């Protein structure tokens, strides 16, 4: 459980578990990511909880969002939309942002990776959360930093390295 995040969950479409089950999965993952950022990356957080919106939908819906906001007319596994521009180490505002997940893509990728659905969703949650703090993977240097953070956070949760073979910085 985290006292720094006010997690809002919405299930729009898809075969997602019920809200309580999703919250039970997401809270410890987000708490681990938050703790890592605070303790290892000196990420500041405001004294009041910041709002984080998690939207669980399907491929059709995320495809529309991806086309509109990223000009990529295809479904994707996760999209992140920061409420305010933030660089790593910057102070978040009262709203952190939105993370959107597509059920069919997440389920298909989990099967292809031969990983439990919950483990893959946990990875994507950490990935999306880091994007809200300004981390990115647009070039090799950024990708190495972001993937290293994801891996370390997930290993702390007892989950395998999603980028096995990636050299950590």
Q: Per residue, what are the HEC states of 107-156?
A: HHHHHHHCCCHHHHHHHHHHHHHHHHCCCCCCCHHHHHHHHHHHHHHHHH
Q: What is the pLDDT of residue 166?
A: 45
User: Which run of H or of E encompasses 98?
Assistant: strand 95-102
Q: What is the pLDDT of residue 58?
A: 98
How many structural domains does the chain have?
Answer: 1
The CATH code of the domain that includes 98 is: 3.40.390.30
Q: Is 150 inside any structural domain?
A: yes
Residue 25 is given by DSSP the state H
Q: Is 134 inside any structural domain?
A: yes
The pLDDT averaged over each successive group of 10 residues in the chain (169 residues) is 88 97 97 96 95 98 97 97 96 97 98 96 98 96 96 96 65
Strands 5-11 and 95-102: unpaired
Q: What is the pLDDT of residue 167?
A: 45
Residue 32 is given by DSSP the state H
Beta bridge partners of 102: 57
**Domain that residue 48 falls in:** 5-156
Q: How many CB atoms lie under 10 A from the CB of residue 50?
A: 20
Q: Is 79 inside any structural domain?
A: yes
Spatial CA neighbour of 57 closest among 20, 103, 99: 103
Structure tokens belonging to residue 82: 């920061």
Q: Is 165 inside any structural domain?
A: no
C-alpha span between 38 and 42 (Å, rounded): 5
């Amino acid at each position: 459980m985290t006292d720094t995040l006010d997690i809002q969950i919405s299930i729009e479409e898809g075969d997602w578990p019920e809200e309580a089950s999703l919250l039970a999965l997401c809270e410890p993952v987000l708490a681990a990511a938050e703790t890592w950022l605070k303790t290892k990356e000196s990420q500041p957080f405001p004294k009041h909880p910041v709002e984080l919106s998690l939207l669980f939908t399907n491929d059709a819906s995320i495809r529309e969002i991806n086309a509109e906001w990223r000009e990529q007319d295809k479904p994707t596994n996760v999209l992140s939309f920061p409420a305010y521009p933030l660089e790593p180490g910057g102070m978040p505002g009262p709203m952190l942002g939105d993370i959107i997940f597509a059920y069919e893509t997440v389920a298909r990728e989990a099967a292809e990776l031969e990983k439990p659905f919950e483990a893959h969703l946990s990875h994507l949650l950490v990935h999306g959360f880091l994007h809200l703090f300004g981390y990115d993977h647009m070039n090799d240097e950024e990708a190495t930093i972001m993937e290293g953070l994801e891996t370390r956070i997930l290993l702390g949760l007892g989950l395998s390295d999603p980028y096995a073979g990636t050299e950590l910085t």
